[in-house]
Amino acid sequence: MDHIIPFQAQIVIPLRERDEQFNKIQELIELKRNLLHDKQRKLQKISKQNRFLEVVKDDYLKYHTYIQNQKRDQIKALELLNTYINDLTYSGKLTKNNIEDAKQEQKRILREVKQIRATLDDIVNTTEDVQLSLNK
């Protein structure tokens, strides 16, 4: 025997099921909304960090460029001084002792130039490595 369900009960049961489904959907929507808000906040934070890192990277590259220029200027100054000592040595205006002193000074200058060049090469290579790794 079939159970006879009154007409009103037949309407109420589907409405209750729909309400439950609707509530579940509303909860899912709310969860998704919260998830999206969280992701948006994280994205904003990461974006700010990336902008900060860009500034740091730019400052780092400017600093290295400045140091490179300083080292090149040091090399030019020492080479100019070396040329001047050379000119004095061959001009005949120096005594024998002065010539020996000048030669010692030239050796010291050349060692210093070599050391500065090695430092400059290291800076240039490090900067290139950093730029390559930052661009990846």
Give the lowest-confidence range in 37-46, 87-96, 109-118.
Answer: 87-96
Higher pLDDT, 71 or 19: 71
Higher pLDDT, 30 or 125: 30
Give the range of the structural domain holding residue 16, as residue numbers without chain letter.
Answer: 7-135
What's the whole-number mean pLDDT along residues 94-121? 84
Task: Give the confidence band of 3 by pLDDT, cuts at 50, 70, 90.
Answer: low
Provide the CA 129 distance to its chain's centre, in angstroms.
12
Please tell me the predicted confidence (pLDDT) of residue 58.
Answer: 83
Residue 122 lies in a domain: yes
Residue 95 lies in a domain: yes
pLDDT, the chain, mean: 80
> Is the pLDDT reported for residue 11 higher than 80?
no
List Cα–Cα distances, 35 to 24, 28, 39, 45, 101, in angstroms.
16, 10, 6, 15, 78
Q: Can you tell me whether residue 136 is helix, strand or coil?
A: coil
CB atoms within 10 A of CB 132: 9
Residue 2 lies in a domain: no
Residue 91 lies in a domain: yes
- For the chain, the domain total comes to 1
Residue 65 lies in a domain: yes
